[in-house]
Structure 1
Amino acid sequence: MPTRRVHHLAAATAAATTALTTVLTAVGAAPARAAGDLHLVRPGESIQQAVDAALPGDTVQLLPGEYRGSVRITTPGLTLRGAGRDSVLLPADATADATAGTSTGTPAAADNAALCATAGHGLCVAGTDDRPLAGVTVEALAVTGFRKNGISASGTTGLTVRATFVHDNGQQGISQEKSTRGVITANESTRNGQSGVFLANSVDSEGGALSADGTLVSANLLTDNRVGVTVRRLRDLSVERNRIHGNCGGVFVVGDEGVPRAGALTVTRNQVVANNRYCPPNPRLDHIQGAGIVLTGAEETSVTENEVRDNVGASPFSGGIVLVHSVVGVANARNTVADNLVLGNGPADLADRDTGTDNSFARNQCAVSEPAGRC
């Protein structure tokens, strides 16, 4: 039986627990305590079968090793915990037996995992608009090599994603849509095809911005993605204390003509340095290179106390902190850019390339602005 209920960790799990403690201590987070039963999964056993057998408040603990196949979580209050980077979720091996050597296990579990795998994602946390999935925690594991998103959440509330290593996935590293009160902290998300962290009202439809109800993106390391953090059509959240470098763009806050508008959020105390990769244009956007923090079609957003250095390029988005109208021509409105250190960016440290007239720039340390006089 690939899932086991364990009330006291045996010697076999001591190394995993020690590794987890080391990982979480390194990122400044305390290891979570399992509130219910523990389901221990070894390499070659089924993560999905353990997840399906778990009850609210239980923990599914992965020992170090590789685990093949997608996983879908639909149980509230569940914790999925690895032993740090040594617990690795990878796409299924097409030549492997579906019930042995992959993460699917029983036919029922395979059907559940297939919903996530068919979408192209690695780990799915799935609620609904009417019944948001509450209180799931994903921590201390690696997710890599999936066609679309590494970790993909929709219809959740109070989701925590902590101390994960999400890398080399085709689209988003960590994605959350139609969700509230999320905490995405102390992760490393790198070399993903789109954003390291992507937050949106809905990926597949237009519409006004939704409230994220205090979602927090903090203390993450985001490198070598198209964009470090993208916030699209959301309100009421904070992006703070992240290290964002080596992407094509650092932080994008994206709105459009939908009502309510995107904004009423905070971007603060981030280190946004040398995001100078070149990413080619797509049907909606010009190419991206050298973009630090970009507001496009946003309102009432506070950009404060960030260090934004050495972001240089020749894109419409290039520069340190940049305001530019949205893809449908909507201007930024009533945003505040204050108390930032913005130096060495090009063509300007502060660039207001928009038609909005009610955005505020104050007490920023910078050398070059568009138009002149903003430093």
Structure 2
Amino acid sequence: MKRLLRWFVYPLVFIAIGIGITQGYLYLFPPKPAMVVQTAGDNLARNVGGAGSLAVPTLAQGTIVEVRDGDSIQQAVLQAQPGDTVMVYPGTYSETVYIDKDDIVLLGVVQEGRWPTLDGKKELNDAILYSGSDITIDSFKITNYKGNGIMGQAGNNFVIRNNLIIDTGVYGIFPQFGTNGLIEHNILTGIEDAAIYVGMCDNVDVRHNEVFGNVAGIEIENTRHALVENNYVYDNAGGILAFITPGLPIKTTYDVIIRDNFVVNNNHVNFAAKGSIVANVPQGTGILVLAADDVIIENNIISGNDSVGIGITDLSLITDVSKDPGSEPNPDRVVILDNIMENNGNNPHGILKDLISVAFQEKGPDIMDTGKGTGKCIADQNRYRTLFVLGADYGLCDRQQYATDGIFTMTLPEMAPTEIIQDVSAEDFEQELGMRTYYGVCTGCHTYSVRMIGPSVKSIQALYFDDPQGIAEYINSPVKKREEFPEMPPQNYLTEETRMAVAKYMLQVSK
């Protein structure tokens, strides 16, 4: 019996030793990955939309258009057809890339720590602009631009991931007027407005990003159905913001989940452009809900924010709502479930400091509410230091009713449709083209009645009155006219037809 056991056990021991030696060797001396060369007809993993499927790789057919150091990314995009991938190898590319077609993957190749780098040299305004739908932008380093790192202009089904964005001016990642999007695994710093700014969008997930050293870390503005999850948000002036900005054509922000984020030490000096809305965000703010409705804040770690952990307020805190009576100014149905909050409010700043002083307190609270809005609740108010001004009323949340663990994503179960204008009159076509361009491009910097990055549309209407040609020419080749506003970048990538359509539309906007 012992001899039989030896014959059975000894081979197993030798096999185990062999496996261990092999694994140890591979750990110390891992094989170099083989270079993968894609050719026409090969498959390339990418993400497309549906029931969280923006995050689930599927296969797309198409040609691989390669770009190497010294080549032009824009020329490759012009060559690419829907379904193709533009694969960019390490190198420095000083250009603006504009994607005006659908179903394009812009994929960076990172080799031995070397990135494909878009460098604006503080001369160019934007790094990547896309107006097509079904766009993926993956694995680029973007730096030294004056305006935006990645900006979407009315494109649906977008995926923006794995990018390193440093000092790109006003915004880092800025999808505008798009439906069904995923922003994940990006690192952003040095942005003078919002590092990740989701503007007038629907059904967007923002997750697993690291944002630090910006004015605002993540801003959900005039957007519906958004999930902000598992982000590391630190050393910004304001961490995570759910906003309504008056004067935009989309008037609401609602159905926003902010969960499982690390929101810590957001005490950076606010270095936003003077006069802009975000310049009024108090330094030291962890999470700020400004007039947004149906916001759930759950399972976050919110610590070390000098002014306040969570602030809930109406539009009057930082803007003049009287200029846009169409925007309902109060935050309703805000739900605060279980969060870990400590060491907040040690050195309040700005208007929050004034409000705290009025309440005869020196230290800021974990949660502060300025008193407007209805239907709000907290799961366990005793867990937090609170300051409710003007009689803010909070009920007791039912955890089971409001828990979000059954919600995996805010993205759509199916791809959002790509709007195609056809079989309409020339007048209707121009009106639709003008509206989409106004929503997707112009409202990134201009509201109808409130100062944003640029002057209000009302002031532009007064200046140009009935001269759409003048606006169209200025869009193509702007010159600095007002000392108090930054110089507008040229929008000369827009066709002449588009510039005229949006100029006519801008002159007829009334709210």
* TM-score (structure 2 length as normaliser): 0.56
Code of the aligned partner of 2:216? V
**Could you tell me how far apart the structure 1 residues matched to 2:341 and 2:97 are?**
42
CA 1:288–1:62 in structure 2 vs 1: closer, same or farther (change >3 Å)?
same
Q: State the alpha-carbon separation in 1 of the partners of residues 384 and 234 from structure 2.
A: 21
Q: Which has the larger radius of gyration?
A: 2
1:246 counterpart = 2:235: yes
After TM superposition, the structure 1 stretch with the greater mean CA deviation from structure 2, 33-42 or 179-188, is: 33-42
Aligned to 1:305: 299
Kindly report which structure 2 residues correspond to 1:51-62, keeping only aligned pairs within 5 A, or say none.
51-62=77-88
**Distance in 2 separating the partners of 1:174 and 1:256:** 18
Give the equivalent residue in structure 2 for 1:204: none
Indicate how the Cα distance of structure 1 residues 332 and 59 shifts in structure 2: closer, same or farther if over 3 A, else same: same
Unaligned 5+ segments in structure 1 are 1-12, 22-28, 95-116, 127-132, 202-211, 313-317
Whole-Å Cα distance in 2 between the matches of residues 272 and 46 of structure 1? 39
Residue 367 of structure 1 and its aligned partner are, at CA, apart by 4.0
Aligned partner of residue 339 in structure 1, secondary structure:
coil
Q: Residue 87 in 1 paired to residue 104 in 2?
A: no
3-state SS, counterpart of residue 50 of structure 1: helix
- Corresponding position: 1:68 with 2:73: no
Are 1:193 and 1:225, in contact at CA under 8 Å, matched by a contact in 2? Answer: yes
User: In the alignment, what sits opposite 1:124?
Assistant: 129
What is aligned with 1:355? 372
CA contact (8 A) 2:130 2:153 kept: yes
- How much does 1:144 deviate? 0.8
Matching of residue 262 in structure 1 with residue 288 in structure 2: no
Alpha-carbon distance, 1:305 to partner: 1.3
How far residue 288 of structure 1 moved from its aligned partner, in angstroms, is 2.5
Residue 3 of structure 2 corresponds to residue 14 of structure 1: no
What SS does the corresponding residue of 1:170 show, helix, strand or coil? Answer: coil
Contact 1:246 1:275 in 2 (8 A): yes
How much does 1:328 deviate? 3.2
Deviation at 1:357, TM superposition (A): 3.9
Q: Is the alpha carbon distance of 1:238 and 1:30 closer, same or farther for their aligned partners in structure 2, counting shifts above 3 Å? A: closer
CA offset at residue 74 of structure 1? 1.4
Q: Please tell me whether the aligned partners of residues 70 and 122 of structure 1 are also in contact (alpha carbons under 8 angstroms).
A: yes
Pairwise CA distance, 1:268: 1.2
Match in the other structure for 1:328: 320
Rounded to whole Å, the distance in 2 between the matches of 1:56 and 1:146 is 28
Decide which structure has greater helix share: 2
User: Does the CA-based 8 Å contact 2:221-2:245 persist in structure 1?
Assistant: no
Change (3 A) 1:167 1:350: same
For residue 261 of structure 1, report the CA deviation from its aligned partner. Answer: 2.5
- How do 1:1-375 and structure 2 match up within 5 A? 14=35, 35-84=61-110, 86-91=115-120, 120-126=125-131, 133-201=132-200, 212-255=201-244, 260-279=251-270, 282-283=274-275, 284=277, 285-286=279-280, 288-312=282-306, 318-326=307-315, 327-328=319-320, 330-346=329-345, 347-363=364-380, 366-371=383-388
User: Relative to 1, partners in 2 of residues 1:365 and 1:228: Cα closer, same or farther, differing over 3 Å?
Assistant: farther
Quote the RMSD (CA, aligned, Å): 2.8
- For structure 2, the 5+ residue unaligned runs are 1-33, 39-43, 45-54, 322-328, 346-363, 397-511
2-structure distance, mates of 1:187, 1:371: 36
Deviation at 1:256, TM superposition (A): 5.2
Instruction: Give the secondary-structure state (helix, strand or coil) at the position aligned to 1:265.
Output: strand
Q: How many residues align?
A: 310
CA 1:31–1:333 in structure 2 vs 1: closer, same or farther (change >3 Å)? Answer: closer
Equivalent residues of 1:70, 1:90 under 8 A apart: no
Q: Which has the higher strand share?
A: 1
- The CA deviation string for residues 236-293 of structure 1, in whole angstroms up to 9 with x for no partner, is 1111111100111101111156775311221111110100011157324535311001
Shift in alpha-carbon separation, 1:93–1:39, aligned structure 2, 3 A: farther
CA distance in 2 between counterparts of 1:61 and 1:280 reads 36
The 1:90–1:320 alpha-carbon spacing in structure 2 relative to 1, beyond 3 Å, is: same
CA distance, structure 1, for counterparts of residue 173 and residue 208 of structure 2: 14
Distance of 1:364 and 1:269 partners within structure 2: 19
Counterpart code for 1:56: P
Identity %: 26
The alpha-carbon deviation at position 364 of structure 1 amounts to 6.1
